[in-house]
Structure 1
Amino acid sequence: MQTGFRLNLTPVKEPLGFVKVVELLTAVLAFGTCGGYTGRNVVSIFCGGSSNETLSPTFTYPFRLNQELLVENTTLCNRTVAATHLVGDSSSSVEFFVAVAVLAFLYSMVALLVYLGYMHVYRDSDFGPMFDFVLTAVFAFLWLVCSSAWARGLQTVKDATGTAGIESTLALCRDNVKCEVTDYASMRSLNISVICGFLNLIIWAVNAWFVYKQTRWHSQKVNAQQAAGRGPNPAPI
């Protein structure tokens, strides 16, 4: 059996290779829409009779909100306000999400290289398709876990940076002073990242079926079904 590189673009035209290309692109989209994100909300503080104040808290990837300053030591509404940070930490969920996306991207690239250059080796061995199937199934599970975790983490970010979160965090807002977020940072890309996560779950689960069809587990099942359909051989006369 020849094991050298032999370029063949046919697998890309088949579901097995085409879905891998889609996986590669959606993985890039997943980590590209949340990594490096920076947002800033504008908080208006209505002091009543005196002049109003404005705060502009910034929050960035990986969303360690408890390290992001809401306000420094200053005076607001003629009152001294101590340095206050935002509340919450979504770093573990978003970093897990990004790690899975990057690993999925790298594995998709390696798998495509195998499909395009070593498909003759891949299909002539038992190990290749079985290893591919196991890893594809593992990634489908990881996408489920990390997307669910990041969806919850994103909701934590939204709650902490919204009006209710700011009011519960800044002591000044509980002392006859109204605080309201009047300008929200766009979180469209973060919402897209969550959608891409669950989209990847579906794509990798579908791809697991196409990879499973390449394994000997599937071929043995098909052969057994065909043998059962033919029935027992007639007894010799």
Structure 2
Amino acid sequence: MEAAAQKFPAFKLDISPLKEPLGFIKVLQWVFAIFAFATCGGYTGTSMASVKCLNSKEDLISINFSYPFRLNKISYQAPTCKNGSTYETQDLIGDFSSSAEFFVAVGVLTFLYCTAALVLYVGYQRLYQQNKYLPIADFAVTALFTFLWLVSSSAWAQGLTDVKNSTRPTTLIRAISVCQVKNVVCTQGALPSMGRLNASVIFGFMNFILWSGNSWFAFKETSWHKPANPQGVAEQGASVEH
């Protein structure tokens, strides 16, 4: 145990790697990952419509929905316009949790990996430079996250479009059976505010761009780009001159 402790270097704070592209972009990735999963995972919206039966008061239908957007499990009470004030239970349409949860999961994993990578950069820079396998692993993970951000952002962009279509007041009115009856007036409410969800998609594709650009800087740190032993080559050249 003592020998292993001696081989592993102690933590030594050095923020100079953050001034280099590899470290600076990693900080941006850390920040934008938080924005991406926070804007999606913390969302709550409301869809509204009103129903007025003949010779009856107007009923306001207000439906709250939120992440992870399992809309088909959200129920609401709609008037039947029969036998006085009677209501029936109806559900929203669609389950879009898979794309939303995948997107948030990629964001959280990105946050955790960037945290670990930044600790390695600023605390164990010497180990990172001397161990040829760490830069290769960093490059491989960077390439993986580039792919994951592209896939998850594209899937969530389509999922968001479906969420918008399913929660529009006009869609809600079409789903309420009594709204198809003559002499029943159904009025749509305001559109749900989707600004945060639109921002989450933007942050997702910005993360893809950041990880794509960082792939090159991560590759430059690997032994595939750097000479395998530049010091040995220099010594060999010196001996030839003598």
For Structure 1 versus Structure 2, the TM-score category normalised by the shorter chain is 0.7 to 0.9
Could you say which residue in structure 2 is the equivalent of 1:168? 174
In 2, the alpha carbon distance for the partners of 1:126 and 1:80 equals 72
Q: What TM-score does the superposition give when structure 2 sets the normalisation length?
A: 0.84
Q: Deviations over 1:9-40 (max 9, x none)?
A: 10001111000000000000011111132111
Give the SS at the match of 1:100.
Answer: helix
Unaligned runs of 5+ in 1: 224-237
In 2, the alpha carbon distance for the partners of 1:8 and 1:101 equals 27
- C-alpha change, 1:188 and 1:39, in structure 2 (3 Å) is same
Unaligned runs of 5+ in 2: 1-6, 231-242
- C-alpha change, 1:156 and 1:210, in structure 2 (3 Å) is same
In 2, the alpha carbon distance for the partners of 1:55 and 1:207 equals 48
Could you say which residue in structure 1 is the equivalent of 2:193? 186
2:95 to 79, 82, 89: 89
1:9 to 10, 15, 26: 15
Give the conservation status (yes or no) of the 8 Å contact 2:48–2:169. no
Could you say which residue in structure 2 is the equivalent of 1:104? 110
Could you say which residue in structure 2 is the equivalent of 1:131? 137
Q: Deviations over 1:89-123 (max 9, x none)?
A: 11111111110000000000000000001111111
1:204 to 211, 214, 236: 211
Is 1:155 the counterpart of 2:161? The answer is yes
Alpha-carbon RMSD across the aligned residues, in angstroms, is: 2.2
- 1:4 maps to a residue whose letter is A
In 2, the alpha carbon distance for the partners of 1:109 and 1:154 equals 29
Identity %: 45
What is the aligned residue count?
221
Give the conservation status (yes or no) of the 8 Å contact 1:166–1:179. no
Q: What TM-score does the superposition give when structure 1 sets the normalisation length?
A: 0.86
The Cα of 1:48 is off from its aligned counterpart by 6.0
Give the SS at the match of 2:14.
Answer: coil
The Cα of 1:42 is off from its aligned counterpart by 1.8
Is 1:53 the counterpart of 2:59? The answer is yes
In 2, the alpha carbon distance for the partners of 1:24 and 1:165 equals 38
- C-alpha change, 1:217 and 1:48, in structure 2 (3 Å) is farther
In 1, the alpha carbon distance for the partners of 2:8 and 2:170 equals 66
1:140 to 130, 137, 146: 146
The Cα of 1:169 is off from its aligned counterpart by 1.8
Give the SS at the match of 1:88.
Answer: coil
The Cα of 1:76 is off from its aligned counterpart by 4.1
Q: Deviations over 1:38-59 (max 9, x none)?
A: 1112212254665433210111
In 2, the alpha carbon distance for the partners of 1:79 and 1:50 equals 9
